[in-house]
């Protein structure tokens, strides 16, 4: 499956009593992929058009009023089963290199080689990269290091265990995103080529994986999680793009069984050329600027930066706006204020706390809908560019949010 789905943003904020907000859940995106990630009957072609209303109404949402999401969206894409030789993908293998794997390294090498053998490896078709990790990370080769299958298979056969008694899978995922899924490393993400990460691990991670896995998903990377031995299947499911892209075997000797199961979703279902995802998005953050979050404002700022960093920010791609609210509204910048990621990140790093005694979120939502997400301030809703409103708040609103929330949703 190509990137013919819209990566949705997700974050949940909770106070002492209830969930205040769940936005643009990754589950929406992952649900859509879950029923598309297995191949349709041979030569089946179909076009799907979804509006935000239909997406939302088709899913069981516990609290519709908490979904503060405005999507002006029309996604049309064609899915077709095609032959392996037409597959175009960038695939990076992320391999557990900790001491536990030592005796099983030949099985891991054979597993990777078995997959590569079945791919049409060449610069214009399938590119392969390889990383080892334990406490730290080590690049074996990048997506643009080798251009032939023979060279890649030779490097895989020569791979030696890096070793280590600590396994930081979360840090390794972040490393892969920052260092391998980049144009300079051979990634063709800017050309709409599907980015794929195949994790192979044998032990539980000693750092946080879920948040980083979500960042990888937001960047449009399709993650497969393969595990054996001591790693828990639940952890693999957290890391995988969808749960049925997680594969577990009791021992590394069972990895050949995974090869058979993984090849179909890995290579068979892709989008037709020219039908790749339109990566343009307008993302507006409405953040709590009241005294409720004075001590936590730095964390809010850092969170926004972490959401933005993996996105392809640009005037013709992803636009970003930030507004603080308390009893008054303070726009920090609009969707059409900055044209580059560097400018946006620079403005975010300089974001200063406004303050205020009360929180009028209802009025702020109306302002976001009528002003920030309007064409006058840079919104491209009339061009069918998806619109995202992400609300971060740490206290209870002094005014009613129900009517404004419904208006935004609709």
DSSP code, position 268: I
Question: Hey, CA dihedral for 230, 234, 237, 243, is it positive or negative?
Answer: positive
Q: In angstroms, how far is CA 242 from the centroid of its own chain?
A: 11
The structural domains of the chain, ordered by start, are 11-79+280-409 (3.40.50.410), 84-271 (3.40.50.410)
As a whole number of angstroms, the distance between CA 243 and CA 57 comes to 23
Count of CB atoms within 10 A of residue 1's CB? Answer: 21
As a whole number of angstroms, the distance between CA 369 and CA 373 comes to 5
Write out the two tokens for 145: 């290091």
Count of CB atoms within 10 A of residue 282's CB? Answer: 25
DSSP code, position 339: -
CA distances from 216 to 101, 200, 241, 264, 311 (A): 25, 16, 9, 22, 10
Write out the two tokens for 217: 């998903």
Q: Each residue's pLDDT tens digit in the chain (410 positions)?
A: 233 333 333 333 233 222 223 333 344 444 334 333 333 333 333 333 333 344 434 444 433 333 333 322 222 223 333 333 478 999 999 999 999 999 999 999 999 999 999 999 999 999 999 999 999 999 999 999 999 999 999 999 999 999 999 999 999 999 999 999 999 999 998 888 889 999 999 999 999 999 899 888 888 889 999 999 999 999 999 999 888 899 999 999 999 999 989 998 887 544 333 333 446 889 999 999 999 889 889 989 998 998 888 788 999 999 999 999 999 999 999 999 999 999 999 999 999 999 988 889 999 999 999 999 999 999 999 988 888 999 998 888 989 888 888 888 77
Helix (H) or strand (E) holding 215: helix 210-218
As a whole number of angstroms, the distance between CA 324 and CA 364 comes to 9
DSSP code, position 366: H
pLDDT for the residue numbered 57: 46
Write out the two tokens for 291: 């005294």
Helix (H) or strand (E) holding 330: strand 329-333
As a whole number of angstroms, the distance between CA 220 and CA 194 comes to 8
Q: Residue-wise over 65-97: b if at least 16 C-beta within 10 A, else e?
A: ebbbbbbbbebebebbebeeeebbbbbbbbbbb
Question: Hey, CA dihedral for 32, 35, 38, 40, is it positive or negative?
Answer: negative
For 294-319, the DSSP string reads GGGHHHHHHHHHHHHTTS-BBTTSEE
pLDDT for the residue numbered 4: 32
Write out the two tokens for 267: 């290579």
pLDDT for the residue numbered 279: 63
Q: How many CA atoms lie within 13 A of 105 on its CB side?
A: 16
């Amino acid at each position: 499956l190509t990137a013919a789905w819209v990566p949705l943003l997700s974050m949940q904020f909770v106070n002492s009593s209830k969930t205040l907000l769940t936005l643009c859940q990754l589950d929406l995106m992952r649900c859509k992929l879950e029923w598309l990630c297995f191949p349709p009957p041979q030569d089946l072609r179909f076009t799907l058009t979804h509006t935000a209303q239909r997406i939302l109404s088709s899913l069981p949402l516990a609290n519709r009023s908490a979904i503060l999401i405005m999507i002006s969206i029309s996604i049309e894409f064609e899915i077709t089963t095609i032959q392996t030789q037409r597959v175009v993908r960038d695939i990076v293998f992320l391999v557990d290199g900790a001491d536990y794997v030592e005796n099983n390294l030949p099985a891991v090498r054979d597993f990777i080689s078995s997959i590569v053998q079945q791919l049409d490896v060449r610069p214009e078709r399938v590119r392969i990269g390889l990383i080892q990790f334990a406490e730290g990370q080590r690049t074996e080769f990048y997506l643009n290091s080798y251009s032939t299958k023979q060279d890649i298979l030779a490097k895989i056969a020569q791979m030696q265990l890096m070793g280590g008694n600590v396994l930081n899978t979360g840090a390794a995922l972040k490393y892969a995103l920052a260092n391998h899924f980049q144009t300079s490393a051979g990634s063709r993400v800017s050309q709409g080529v599907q980015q794929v990460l195949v994790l192979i691990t044998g032990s539980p991670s000693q750092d946080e994986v879920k948040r980083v896995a979500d960042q990888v998903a937001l960047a449009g990377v399709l993650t497969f999680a393969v595990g054996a031995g001591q790693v828990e299947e639940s952890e693999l499911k957290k890391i995988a793009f969808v749960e049925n892209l997680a594969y577990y075997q009791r021992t590394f000797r069972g990895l050949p069984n995974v090869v058979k199961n993984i090849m179909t979703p890995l290579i068979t279902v892709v989008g037709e050329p020219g039908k790749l995802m339109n990566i343009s998005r307008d993302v507006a953050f409405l953040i709590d600027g009241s005294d409720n979050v004075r001590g936590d404002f730095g964390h809010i700022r850092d969170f926004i930066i972490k959401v933005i960093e993996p996105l392809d920010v640009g005037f013709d791609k992803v636009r970003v706006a930030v507004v603080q609210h308390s009893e008054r509204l303070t726009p920090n910048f609009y969707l059409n204020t900055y044209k580059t990621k560097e400018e946006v990140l620079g403005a975010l790093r300089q974001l200063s706390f406004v303050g205020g005694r009360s929180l009028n979120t209802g009025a702020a939502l109306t302002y976001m809908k009528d002003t920030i997400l309007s064409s006058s301030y840079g919104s491209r809703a009339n061009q069918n560019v998806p619109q995202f409103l992400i609300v971060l708040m740490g206290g209870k609103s002094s005014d009613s949010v129900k009517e404004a929330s419904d208006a935004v949703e609709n």
